[in-house]
Amino acid sequence: MTINWKEYAPTHFYDELISTPGNARQSARRLVAYLRSLRDEEVEQRRRAAEATVKEMGVTFTVYTEEGNIDRAWPFDIIPRTIAKKQWDKTAEGLKQRLQALNLFIQDLYHEQKIVQDGVLPRYILEQSKNFRPECVGISPRYGVWANICGTDLVRDKDGEFYVLEDNLRVPSGVAYMLENRAITKRVLPDLFEQAHIAPIDDYPARLFDMLVSLSPRDIEQPVVVVLTPGIFNSAYFEHAFLAQQMGAELVEGSDLVVQSDECVYMKTVAGLQRVDVIYRRIDDLFLDPEAFTPDSVLGVPGLMRAWRKGNVAMANAPGAGVADDKVVYAFVPAIIKYYLDQDPIVPNVETFLCINEKERDYVLANLDKLVVKPANESGGYGMLVGPHSTKKERLEFAELIKANPRNYIAQPTLALSTAPTLVGNNSLEPRHLDLRPFVLQGASTYVTTGGLTRVAMRKGSLVVNSSQGGGSKDTWVVDTEAK
């Protein structure tokens, strides 16, 4: 007996693999034909092999709870998600366009602020920004690029087109899981990689390292690159260690670095102090330097901002990049692209209502049961209201929060997020909602991963895909359907 793919029926949502009951989309035909050929026991073998591989490779993520931090095995579904290369190529161009415009925007905000003077971005949005850092005014990172690594969250609506849900420009995470998803899938479904034309993703660590090296203030053959982590209790520590190992860079904590009187950064080694050229920092701005930001921070490096301001060390992402990582600023990104590039967005935004606008706020308050409401600077699925799945009590509480601080909230329609066949329960197939986080690197040039991290809402009907909220993940295949 085999899993009955003919009984898998996409609902009114766009399904990534199946167009109509029993019919696979072109990008998924080889995959679905292969999966159809497997008996139930073979599917179970592959599912168990995936679980064993996750444990063997030590792929974990950390959940913060009231009882303490809990390490959990990475939740992985063996059925990949497929995207046609032709559609992905267009999407990748849109992501490059978006990050180029956002970096021009950040550079402008820390210098002339022309976009504010010209009335494209209301001044109050900048003045009330939690992530604008006055300490960064007048600084120009190499190439004028502040956000060197961006994780852009994409969703597909019922029309099958990609939309940008949000930009992550501070310390975006998840790329290690994208790479591990591929490694697991190659072990579990090796035959398919010989048959299907799946775009590789293995070169990401090398591209990341090359981009970081290009930021070095010293013109030397081997600049010293380090990954700065808050430590083992951080939820993304697995990724910090993984990327450092893959790049051949040192993984350091703040206590491993020191700024000397020459205002250069040095790493403590058994052979003495070694100068550091580039810091891939995975610590939030406010904890980077107790001299400049939070005085009692033990995670950062005293004097780090002085060294950066002097141009003696590069940091990626640059402090202050988070000024564009604001869900209120997100609503203005189409206008930002038009202002700096004189282009229309290739990948559109999701329709967004700004609660600081009285007319839009009234609409939001009257339709909380239909909308998704998000705070401006939270991440990980925290602090949001999913209207159709909320209680009356929750909606009343959110109404008060919005009225008390309208600048801090936006609202969006509840999208008909695309689905994909997912193994649940006793290896039965059910549609589950998902999103996609591709990663964009910008230095002297710009690079977009082929695909990205697909996150899956494992609970039936749920739209929340974050692993911290019970979500899982799938491998993402960009498939060249025109290749012979």
Domain residue limits, the chain: 353-413
Beta-bridge partners for 269: 272
pLDDT digits (tens, 9 = 90+) for 20-70: 877 899 999 999 999 999 988 999 999 999 989 888 887 776 655 555 556
State the pLDDT at residue 1. Answer: 37
pLDDT at 61: 67
Cβ–Cβ under 8 Å, residues 443 and 214: yes
- Helix then strand then coil, in percent of the chain rounded to 5, is 35, 25, 40
pLDDT in tens, 248-259: 999 999 999 999
Q: Which H helix or E strand runs over 431?
A: strand 428-437
Which of 262, 277, 343 lies closest to 315, judged by CA?
Answer: 277
∠ at Cα 181 (175, 35), nearest 5°?
Answer: 145
pLDDT score for 99: 98
Q: What's the predicted TM-score (pTM) here? A: 0.92
Q: What parts of the chain have a pLDDT lower than 70?
A: 1-4, 9-11, 61-71, 378-382, 467-470, 484
Selecting from 3.30.300.30, 3.30.413.10, 3.20.20.80, 3.30.1490.270, what CATH number does the domain 353-413 have?
A: 3.30.1490.270
Strand 446-448 with 314-316, pairing:
unpaired
